[in-house]
């Protein structure tokens, strides 16, 4: 049986993995468009602050 902290750690790990997947999906989409506008930069900064 997992202790409370272990369960919490596993949940956070899953959350960060999903977030990382979203980030890679987004950046591959931007890469395919081959153009960057200001909203991309704002989204990038937002994602970056979430990850830190």
Q: What is the pLDDT of residues 5-46, one digit of tens each?
A: 776 776 767 677 777 777 777 777 766 666 666 777 777 788
Report the domain count for the chain: 1
**Structural domain contains residue 9:** no
**Structural domain contains residue 37:** yes
**Structural domain contains residue 26:** yes
pLDDT at 25: 78
Give the residue numbers spanning the domain of 43: 17-51
The answer to whether the CB of 26 falls within 8 A of the CB of 47 is yes
**Structural domain contains residue 22:** yes
Q: Is the pTM of this model over 0.75?
A: no
SS3 of the chain: CCCHHHHHHHHHHHHHHHHHHHHHHHHHHHHHHCCCCHHHHHHHHHHHHHHC
């Amino acid at each position: 049986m997992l202790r409370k902290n272990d369960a919490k750690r596993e949940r956070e790990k899953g959350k960060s993995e999903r977030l990382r997947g979203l980030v890679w999906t987004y950046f591959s989409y931007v890469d395919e468009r081959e153009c960057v506008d200001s909203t991309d930069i704002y989204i990038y900064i937002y994602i970056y602050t979430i990850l830190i």
